[in-house]
Amino acid sequence: MTTTAPGPGRSPTRERPEPPRRRPLTLRRRESRAGLALVAPTLLVTIAVIGIPIVWTVVLAFQRVRLATLRKTGLFGDFTMDNIDRVLHTPGFAETLWVTLVYSVGGTVGSILLGLVAALVVRRPFRGRTLVRASMLLPYVAPVVAVTFVWQVMLDPQLGIVNAWGQRLLGWDAPVPFLSQDSTALTTVIVFEAWRYFPFAFLFLLARLQAVPGELEEAARVDGATPTQRFRHILLPQLLPVIALLGVLRFIMTFNKFDDVYLLTGGAAGTEVVSVRVYEFLTARTDIGAAAAQAVVLAVVLIVFVLIYLRFFGRRVS
Amino acid sequence: MDRDVVETVSLRWLRRLVIAAFLVVTVFPFYYMLVLSVRPIERLLLDPGALVVGFGELTVATYAEVLKATDDGGQGFLTFIRNSGLVAVAATVLTLLVAIPGAYAVARLRFFGRRQVDFLFLAVYLFPTIVIAIPLFVAFSLANLRGSLFGLVLVYISQTLPVSVYMLRNYFETIPVSLEESAAIDGAGRLGIIRRVSLPLAMPSVMAVALYDFMIAWNEFLFALLFLVDKPNRWTVSLGLSLLADGVEVPKTVLMAGSVVLTLPIVILFFASERLLTEGLTSGAEKG
């Protein structure tokens, strides 16, 4: 972090005593100014497009705002708890939270497990490894709209290949509407999530695996450890910190996810996650206040979960 | 036979099997996309389980229909491609313009608040996008920026900035300070040093970041949906495909051609630069 900067390391305390007037700026202070100037555009964009909106969402959550009355509503004033109240008591609130939680945990665990297996099998060089590795990243880099659309068609009851083969080879009596019936939709969405995001875990775990010194495993082999024992006692302990970090990263990202569920099911058939619900409030009902309140609830719940997680795994993550 | 031999041999076979399974699972949807995009819809309805394009049924009429302008009876994807390309290129260039000096400053210069910047980026990166989307939706409605590609570019810059700064910062830190010092002694100013010394050395990383930014902007869906939905001539490829897929009037095979059009640029870019990208994304992963 503290790489030595090019300027001479004059300690700040020595500069402090009132520099005589008209003395040119010290290098240290010029450096500080240059730093602020160079980072200013980044900060400006971040504050304008992300910082202010976050604060504004919180303000909107406590105001009565609809798209139609937007221009009349002032930025401040008329604060009310109505939105929060309405959000908490709109039918389906608890269910949405539960679905989001199941979806996030399922997607996180699934993608990390798949990523771990993938990293273990392509760890050692073999012919065509580069190509295999690149192909494994495809689900992650491809446009979400394209892959959700392909999945929709693949799973379609009439013209999907999954149902065609399921009926032909596995003897299914009737086509299964995977994405539109309650009993399968959530599972399907979670499987999609694991499929699309395992490359993320795969990349991190592979990088870590390749940093494990070869002597460690060699020594264990000499001591008579079998491959599974070497994995259990040598590799896994090395990977655990990365897995813990991936756990929190993937959980947060999945919890916030909108695109995947919205595009696959539109939130139907018991797959409505919180961000899809926010979107519904915002566009279908044009109730900005309720949407903001729902979004704030999302953020608060997320922060609580992350804090709980850090409490249990904090030492590993840091 | 002892346990070691049994495990070694069976794991060797298991490993090959698993690699094959992974390949099938990851590549198959893309293969399926390609196959469907060149089959006529009637053939698909007759035989939805076919894995290859049958003899004599190959057609490119789907591509013609999806690309043609709506006035000519097509779906207007050429316009969408132009919009997506415009937005993605503009967002990439502008992000780099903002991120390069920022990343350099965070990597090299000591200034007030340098450490907080780090934390800020992480928080921004992990914050729910939908939370930011609401006020932006409101603000853009008020400023009549909804339906403008410029507004979209602005949002994409902010979405890609944190990771761009982070990746570039990591790379700048690996460049020896002595190189910059000698340039300083030769009389180069701060900007001169960045332009003539640091930037050329950081080129691989800049390329990786540019590709990453381009992909994010090209693939993005939520903000395009929120801002552009009322203006069909401003739709991006992602938005156009998803909105047309919601209806029933456009045949699925034609839309498959659309998703090939949407996916192909990304896949080509990705395979051309795979090594560059994966190394860029995971540099710093070892810190764990």
Which pLDDT tens digit goes with each residue over B140-153? 888 877 888 888 99
Cα Rg for chain A, rounded, in angstroms?
26
Q: What is the ipTM, given to two decimal places?
A: 0.89
Kindly report which listed range (A24-28, B65-69, B197-201, B215-219) carries the lowest average pLDDT score: A24-28
pTM, full prediction? 0.87
Which residues of chain A are within 8 Å of residue B139 when distances are taken between CB atoms?
A: 53, 56
In terms of CA atoms, which chain A residue is nearest residue B238?
A145
Which residues in chain A are closer than 8 Å to B190, comparing Cβ atoms?
34, 38
Select the residue of B4, B15, B131 nearest A298 (Cβ to Cβ): B131
Contact yes or no for A46 and B158 at CB 8 A: yes
What DSSP line would sit under B126-186, residue for residue? HS-HHHHHHHHHHHHHHTT-TT-HHHHHHHHHHHHHHHHHHHHHHHHHHS-HHHHHHHHHT
Which of B165, B270, B288 has its CB closest to that of A141? B270
Mean pLDDT of the region B162-174 = 88
Structure letter (DSSP) for residue B286: G
Q: Say whether A263 and B49 touch across the interface (CB within 8 A).
A: no
> How far A39 CA sits from the closest chain B CA (Å)?
4
Query: Which of A150, A156, A204 has the CB atom closest to B259's CB atom?
Result: A150
Residue A68's pLDDT is 67
pLDDT band at A1 (very low <50, low <70, confident <90, very high): very low
Closest residue on chain B to A245 (Cα): B288
CB spacing of B131 vs A299 below 8 angstroms? yes
- Nearest neighbour of B136 by CB, restricted to A53, A211, A253: A53
pLDDT the model gives residue A20: 55
Ranges of each domain in chain A:
92-284
Pairwise CB contact (< 8 Å): B154 & A56? no
* Interface A:B, Cβ pairs < 8 A: 295
Predicted confidence (pLDDT) per residue in B99-131, tens digit: 999 999 888 888 877 777 777 777 777 888 888
**pLDDT reading at B279 higher than 70:** no
Which of B48, B130, B218 has its CB closest to that of A275? B130
The three-state (H, E, C) secondary structure of chain A, written as one string: CCCCCCCCCCCHHHHCCCCCCCCCCCHHHHHHHHHHHHHHHHHHHHHHHHHHHHHHHHHHHCECCCCCCCCCCCCCCCECCHHHHHHHHCCCHHHHHHHHHHHHHHHHHHHHHHHHHHHHHCCCCCCCHHHHHHHHCHHHHCCHHHHHHHHHHHCCCCCCHHHHHHHHHCCCCCCCCCCCCHHHHHHHHHHHHHHHHHHHHHHHHHHHHHCCCHHHHHHHHHCCCCHHHHHHHHHHHHHHHHHHHHHHHHHHHHHHCCHHHHHHCCCCCCCCCHHHHHHHHHHCCCCHHHHHHHHHHHHHHHHHHHHHHHHHHHHHHC
Residue B139, min C-alpha distance to chain A (Å): 9
- B142 contacts A70? CB cut-off 8 A: yes
Provide, rounded to the nearest whole percent, the portion of chain A with pLDDT above 70: 87
Cβ distance of A49 and B154 shorter than 8 Å: yes
Under an 8 A CB cutoff, do A163 and B286 touch? no
Of A146, A160, A299, the CB nearest to B241: A146
Task: Please compute the mean of the pLDDT values over residues B25-42 and round it to a whole number.
Answer: 91
CATH of A92-284, one of 1.10.3720.10, 3.30.565.10, 3.40.50.720, 2.120.10.30: 1.10.3720.10
CB pair distance less than 8 Å for B128 and A46:
no
Name the closest residue on chain A to residue B27, using Cα atoms: A135
